[in-house]
Amino acid sequence: MAKRHFPIEYSRNSTLTVFLESLSYHLKGAKLFADKILSAPRTSPTRMLDIGAGDGQFSTALVSSLLTRGHRVSNILAIDPDPDNLLRFQQRLEPTDFRVSTLVGEFENLPSLVPESRDVVIASHSLYELLENPSISDEFIIDVIQQLRKSTAPRGVLLFSLAGEGSPAYRVKAEVLSTLRIEDRSAYGEQLLKLLTKASLDAEIEFIKYSSYMDASYALKDPEHTSAWIRYFCRLTHEEYSRLGWGTAAEILRNHAVELRRLSGEMQKEFLEYPAYCGSPTPSTLVLPHTETLIVLKKN
């Protein structure tokens, strides 16, 4: 079994956008998190920080979800290592009437980048690079978590979002890596929860699991989409993907996907209510059911 070379620079990977378009977690996750924000004792959660912000998909959904509940964000700071991601973030949120600031940076630079605390701090799908890297110690990750906590205002809320253990969609990743004889070091929310418990934080911790899906029809749209989707999800280099080949990649995807109409009525309803960013599924859309986790820390 081949050892993966780390770190893999997820956020700088040009395949990120294709992968994110296929995901549905952002709408339901944003609604659940908005509920948690507004149940905290703070009356006006107006200042937000999104660390590892990506292209702003989750923050956009969260701002919208808060707005529908009558709470308006006054400003948001987005931090990401990739300037292209931040440009897309700015474009997504430009039509809004609050201030959007962006900074190129990483977790290690957090204290110097964020001199003042924020009411809401988001780290959505941005800890994979740390958790999946065998050269990074638990102590280092705990230190990053402590920095994020320090960036959270008193009575503020800190969110972590990661995939959940046992996610059916992750069987695709497992089979791809097994085919290539590459070690699977996928990280999950349950793993982070153990670290948070170990860190003995002065905060109330709530762990939430919920269902979402990945749109396999979108990933199979054409060979370019399949290549981008598989390479990002499985963290493959071009050379590794060429060894796998488009035919095998597409076959693995199809073998694990299921038509929407073959799911339970309750699951169909939920996936139609919270669709992937690429659009609402039809009865014949191939989907990969997926499990997501939210870890919410309410700072005492």
- Residue 136, pLDDT > 60, answer yes
For the purposes of burial, counting CB atoms within 10 Å of the CB of 154, is it exposed (0-12), middle (13-18) or buried (19 or more)? exposed
Higher local confidence (pLDDT), 79 or 94 = 79
Q: What is the pLDDT of residues 151-186, one digit of tens each?
A: 888 888 999 999 999 999 999 999 999 999 999 999
Task: Measure CA 6 to chain center.
Answer: 19
Q: Beta strand 75-80 with 99-104: parallel, antiparallel or unpaired?
A: parallel
Cα separation, 69 vs 88, whole angstroms: 26
**Residue 222 CB neighbours (<10 A):** 9
| 11 pLDDT above the threshold of 80 | no
CA angle 87, 31, 99 (to 5 degrees): 35
Model-level pTM?
0.89
Residue 3 has pLDDT above 50, yes or no: no
pLDDT at 48 over 80: yes
User: Which CATH architecture is the domain 10-299 placed in?
Assistant: 3-Layer(aba) Sandwich (3.40)
Beta-carbon contacts of 153 under 8 Å, excluding residues fewer than 6 positions away, are: 42, 47, 117, 118, 119, 299
Task: Band the pLDDT of 16: cuts 50, 70, 90.
Answer: confident
* pLDDT per position as a tens digit, 276-297: 999 999 999 999 999 999 999 9
Would you state the structure tokens that stand for residue 184, as one six-digit string? 């699977």
Q: What is the pLDDT of residue 44?
A: 67
Residue 157 corresponds to which amino acid?
A: V
Question: Mean pLDDT: which of 51-65, 137-151, 159-173, 196-210 is highest?
Answer: 159-173
Distance CA 68, CA 83 (A): 30
CA–CA dist 99, 93 (Å, integer): 9
pLDDT band at 2 (very low <50, low <70, confident <90, very high): very low
Per-residue buried b or exposed e for 244-262, using 16+ beta carbons within 10 Å of the residue's own CB: beeebbbebbeebbbebee
Q: Which residue in the block uniquely carries the two structure tokens 């503020």?
A: 156
Distance (Å, whole) CA 41 – CA 273: 29
- Structure-token pair, residue 207: 């762990």
* Mean predicted lDDT score pLDDT of the chain: 88
Taking a C-beta distance cutoff of 8 angstroms, is the pair 235, 131 a contact? no
